Amino acid sequence: MDGAMQMETRMTNHSQTIQNQFDPQAQAYLLSTVHAAGEDLARAAAIVAAAIPCETGKLLDVGCGAGHLSFAVSPHLSRVVAADPSPGMLDAVRQGADDRGQTIEAVRASAGDLPFDEGAFCVVASRYSAHHWLGLEAAMREMRRVVKTGGYLLMIDVLGDEDDLVNTHLQTMELLRDRSHIRNLKASQWRALIGASGFQLVEEAAYRLPLEFSSWVGRMRTSPQRIGMIRTLEDEAPAEVREALKISADGSFELQTGLFWARAV
């Protein structure tokens, strides 16, 4: 096989990369303490419970992953639909729902092409997924289409840093660890995008998220070569970056996650 053919066999499009990355790791995400708990998840459940009538509330969890957001809000709603392009993740959602005695519909769909009617949901939501999406702006418009006017948007994601030096290092670490990573939006970028997508921001919060290095790279089966690159990047990072990300001797670090609750207008 010549070099060009070898390169072609190695190349995949972004959706294939996502499936290749996440399908084999669905169980790891279902059991991940980083994803299964957190202040953001507790706050999300409380917001939804306070704002949406339990008897009629319908929520769509876009890019649901292993389903932890769906599990958290399901007791407060009449219907929860979990959508993800990864069959393995959807299987994990079904397993997790069964284990909890919950009824959650698992649907294979991407954020940019949601197979639901206009205004079908009271809430559209996503957690720790949007930084993987191609065409984020189009996906946000699609989420606005399927939520009713007066309904809500709940977005939770890893935040980029407002400082460009810190942000460049963080985004590079993320991409080296996970080839499906696109970008973590800064909080200021999220505010602008939410407004441009037909929503009015109601509440915003940020949380510190400590990440233990070995489990962080282990969830993505990051290669030893890429792990070495990340450690070199951390070791050679300037003091401002090391302080902002709280980089430890073993490579563990902290980042910020953001929660945004907005009304569809």
The arithmetic mean of pLDDT across residues 56-83, rounded, is 96
Instruction: pLDDT band for 53, please (50, 70, 90 cuts).
Output: confident
In a domain, 244, yes or no: no
> What is the pLDDT at residue 3?
47
In a domain, 236, yes or no: no
> What is the pLDDT at residue 140?
98
Contact 127, 201 (CB under 8 A): no
More reliable by pLDDT, 32 or 61: 61
Instruction: pLDDT band for 34, please (50, 70, 90 cuts).
Output: low
> What is the pLDDT at residue 27?
60
The arithmetic mean of pLDDT across residues 38-55, rounded, is 92
In a domain, 137, yes or no: yes
Task: Give percent of the chain with pLDDT exceeding 90.
Answer: 82
The arithmetic mean of pLDDT across residues 99-113, rounded, is 96
| Domain carrying residue 39 | 3-159+181-208+256-264
In a domain, 224, yes or no: no
Chain segment 237-251, per-residue pLDDT in tens: 999 999 999 999 999
In the block, residue with structure tokens 């996440």 = 22
pLDDT higher than threshold 70 for residue 91: yes
Q: What is the DSSP string of 18-39?
A: HHHHHGGGHHHHHH-HHHH--H
> What are the φ/ψ torsions at residue 252 (nearest 5 degrees)?
-60, 150
Quick one: tokens of 243?
């302080």
pLDDT higher than threshold 60 for residue 119: yes
Residue 244 CB neighbours (<10 A): 21
Chain segment 157-171, per-residue pLDDT in tens: 999 999 999 999 999
In a domain, 132, yes or no: yes
Quick one: tokens of 109?
């769909």
pLDDT higher than threshold 90 for residue 184: yes
36 burial type by CB count under 10 A (0-12 exposed, 13-18 middle, 19+ buried): middle
Contact 104, 132 (CB under 8 A): no
The arithmetic mean of pLDDT across residues 29-56, rounded, is 82
Distance CA 80, CA 102 (A): 10
The arithmetic mean of pLDDT across residues 185-190, rounded, is 98
pLDDT higher than threshold 50 for residue 5: no
Q: Going by C-beta distance under 8 Å and a sequence separation of 6 or more, which residues neighbour residue 170?
A: 160, 161, 184, 245, 255
Instruction: pLDDT band for 4, please (50, 70, 90 cuts).
Output: very low
In a domain, 39, yes or no: yes
Q: Going by C-beta distance under 8 Å and a sequence separation of 6 or more, which residues neighbour residue 246?
A: 210, 253, 254
Q: Going by C-beta distance under 8 Å and a sequence separation of 6 or more, which residues neighbour residue 207?
A: 38, 39, 40, 256, 257, 258, 259
Chain segment 198-207, per-residue pLDDT in tens: 999 999 999 9
In a domain, 186, yes or no: yes
In a domain, 243, yes or no: no
Distance CA 99, CA 76 (A): 18
Say how many domains are in the chain: 1
Distance CA 153, CA 210 (A): 26
84 burial type by CB count under 10 A (0-12 exposed, 13-18 middle, 19+ buried): buried
What is the CATH number for 198? 3.40.50.150
pLDDT higher than threshold 80 for residue 128: yes
Distance CA 236, CA 244 (A): 14
Distance CA 140, CA 132 (A): 13
> What is the pLDDT at residue 13?
78
Instruction: pLDDT band for 213, please (50, 70, 90 cuts).
Output: very high
Contact 245, 254 (CB under 8 A): yes
Largest CA distance in the chain: 62
